[in-house]
Amino acid sequence: MYALCAALALWTHYLAGLVLLALNVYALGVFIADKSKVINRKSNIANWLIANLAAAALFAPWLALYLRHAAAWTAAPTFDFALFLKLVATVLPLGVTTNIENYAALTMAFTALVVLGGFANSKFKIQNSILSEAEESKLGARAPSFELRILNYELLFVLIVVLPPILIYLLSLTPVSFFAPKIQARYLLVLLPAYVILLALGIKFISRFGRPFAAFVLLFVFAANAFVLSDYYADRRLRDEYTTLANTLNAFARQGDLVLLDTDQEWPTFLYYLRAPLDWLGAPNGKAMDAGSAAALIQRARARHDAVWLVAIPDALATDPQRVLEARLARELPEQFEQTFGDKRLALYAAAPRDLMHVPPENFAPQFARGARVNDNLQLLGYDLPVREARAGDTLRLVTYWQARKPDVAQINAEQVEVPAGERVRVQTNIAIPPQMSGDFAIGVSASELARVRVEPRAEIAPASSIAQPVDYRFGDAIHLVGYDLPATKFRAGASVPITLHWRADRPIETSYTVFVHLVGEQFNPAHSPGNPLWGQVDRIPRDGAYPTTAWLPNETVPDAYRVPIDTHAPAGTYKIEIGLYDPATGARLAADGGADSAMIAEIVVVP
């Protein structure tokens, strides 16, 4: 049973191996500390080794398969160890991953309770396991009695809670490894059972001073977790990440088509929304794409399929910036369709054009069925609306299904939408929510209301009292960088550069652009592609995603703060700060002044 459970844990996540390592460290201590001659130490040690070997044997086939296709992982930017410990101490009891400094008091209380549970006792007894209670009663005083003084059993749970996080942190520092995990709160989930047991042991220890004390502490544990739920769910809402994209596939894919994920980083989420019974392949997440790998992947795709749907996500911009995979696919099949959905793209490569307007009967499955007649010619059959709430500045993707005897025009809110003739006509309409909007947002078709979406107002921002370095760099035809704040210019390798950018838009922006802030050195960085002088970078939507460019008001100044980590191996010298914006779906950068696609706004110095 141990071997089976250990193998199941490893099949679930590789980092479960660190829990098994902690368990074996404890077992080693038990065997060393066991001085009793009543229990057969050699037999126990042999059985334990056999159980671990059995677990390894069960996992070995998968490990061999993984190593055969594994990518060479590179470590993420260095994570501050003190901050990591605070993250561990906050995530395990409360589940909170952001603004953890707001929960310092609760974190300290839970940590004290866990420490109490881990070290409340100094020893424990293993009762006579040779004789049954009846035999022991019959023998009475003649029954052999012993006390096995070995490691405190609470230490097992302490090891599981303490040892794996430290090893996760050390693994994240490895420059190149077959598995180099980034610091992610979800990796700590496998430690939660041991942590909860330590909490229970701490409450049990407090019960020695009276049950009311223990009941109060137990109530505190539940109340604290209930208290943080509002913060936990505050910024979480259903988003149209894959719904409309996958529904396009669900509507128009044919039997024998293939889905190619570039990359396969988010394959479980994508498959959740994909109803069409299609085969799929994935470009490996984390592995740089080259001509050989692209050719091998396309050869697999074309072996049994004459049409390929390509789903590209922002991760592909990092692994395949030159679009080698798409170029190789285009050599085999012409591109018949391409559309962006936020930061993702969907493209169809097929030998012949497809009808991507009329949904086949077997694929017709609108999210909300309707039977509303708009006029004598036009009937609304249903619609898809993936979200129930949104933020000011978001774009809603509404898909309507029609039956029209002849071409006609339908009005969706203030927009005129052309509907071709036919049955089960699928029309997608992108509706921009005004940045000033809040409350209920009504979506109407012709004279009737179709649905309502709850709109959260924009996050409030305090305007900067002054800008340290006023500038005027133009990006695209409407966005300006009007200044920046750079409080220091000398740093050591491994430190972070704090910089605040100040933006202004001349008019409403229709695309949600990603801002990049790069540190460009005089020497090439061997950890990146050849000829790349990048030694630090942050790419994200402005203000940590809370203030996308689509939410900017004309002529308002938007302060946008960043902390750019410097590579720990960055040589001493001068580094330029490069900034710009790009479309996360295509990687296309906005043109800057002078025809460039970025702007060098300042310099810093990395000292020895």
- pLDDT tens for 256-313 read 999 999 999 999 999 999 999 999 999 988 788 999 999 999 999 999 899 999 999 9
- Give residue 136's pLDDT: 55
| Same domain? 101 vs 208 | yes
Strand partners, 123: none
The domain boundary residue, chosen from 210, 234, 258: 234
Report yes or no on 504 lying in a domain.
Answer: yes
| Same domain? 450 vs 508 | no
- Give residue 147's pLDDT: 43
Report yes or no on 284 lying in a domain.
Answer: yes
| Same domain? 180 vs 51 | yes
The domain boundary residue, chosen from 322, 350, 378: 350
| Same domain? 128 vs 260 | no
| Same domain? 271 vs 202 | no
Angle (nearest 5°) at CA 428 between 425 and 433: 150
| Same domain? 186 vs 321 | no
Closest to 321 measured CA to CA, from 560, 64, 587: 587
Distance CA 82, CA 519 (A): 25
Report yes or no on 461 lying in a domain.
Answer: no
Q: How far is residue 429 from each of residues 67, 340, 355, 445, measured CA to CA in Å?
A: 45, 13, 18, 11
Distance CA 266, CA 286 (A): 12
Indicate the number of domains in the chain.
Answer: 4
Distance CA 111, CA 96 (A): 15
- Give residue 127's pLDDT: 43
Strand partners, 518: 537, 578
Q: How many residues does the chain have?
A: 608
Distance CA 295, CA 283 (A): 11
**Tokens encoding 95:** 């589940």
The domain boundary residue, chosen from 212, 234, 256: 234
Report yes or no on 302 lying in a domain.
Answer: yes
- Give residue 80's pLDDT: 72
Cβ count within 10 A of residue 521: 20
| Same domain? 119 vs 223 | yes
Question: Residue 307: CB partners within 8 Å, gap ≥ 6?
Answer: 254, 256, 257, 258, 333, 348, 349, 350, 351, 354
Report yes or no on 89 lying in a domain.
Answer: yes
| Same domain? 320 vs 409 | no
| Same domain? 331 vs 214 | no
Collapsed DSSP state (helix, strand, coil) of residue 4: helix
* AA letter at 125: K
Report yes or no on 462 lying in a domain.
Answer: no
* AA letter at 59: F
| Same domain? 481 vs 443 | no
Residues of the chain with pLDDT under 70: 34-40, 69-79, 121-151, 174-183, 529-531
pLDDT in tens, 547-568: 899 999 999 999 999 999 998 8
- Give residue 184's pLDDT: 75
Distance CA 554, CA 552 (A): 7
**Segments forming the whole domain that contains residue 447:** 361-456
Report yes or no on 500 lying in a domain.
Answer: yes
**Tokens encoding 199:** 């909490």
Cβ count within 10 A of residue 353: 10
| Same domain? 100 vs 24 | yes
| Same domain? 83 vs 209 | yes
- Give residue 121's pLDDT: 56
Report yes or no on 139 lying in a domain.
Answer: yes
CATH classification of the domain holding 537 = 2.60.40.2550
Q: How far is residue 568 from each of residues 494, 507, 603, measured CA to CA in Å?
A: 4, 41, 18
- Give residue 134's pLDDT: 62
Within 13 Å of residue 174, how many CA atoms lie on the same side as its CB? 15
